[in-house]
Amino acid sequence: MDVQNIMTHEFGHWCGLDDLYNSSDYWLTMYGYSGYGETYKQTLGWGDILGLKAVYGP
């Protein structure tokens, strides 16, 4: 597993975001599943950023 991928996801929890399980959200960092060799979730996706804005405001 990619450590940065997983740590970015876990940091999202620390910031107040929940796991996503809708299959159309598979590319977002907060998607609840990860695969071996997956590295495209090392940074926040647009949907993750919108989630943070919803929690903390603009």
Q: What is the pLDDT of residues 20-52, one digit of tens each?
A: 999 999 999 999 999 999 999 999 889 999 999
Task: Give the model's pLDDT for residue 58.
Answer: 77
Residue 11 pLDDT > 90: yes
Q: Domain segments of the chain: what residues?
A: 1-22+47-58
Q: Which range, of 2-6, 16-20, 43-47, averages the lowest pLDDT?
A: 43-47
* Tokens encoding 29: 């960092």
Cα–Cα distance for residue pair 57/16, rounded to 1 Å: 13
Task: Give the model's pLDDT for residue 4.
Answer: 95
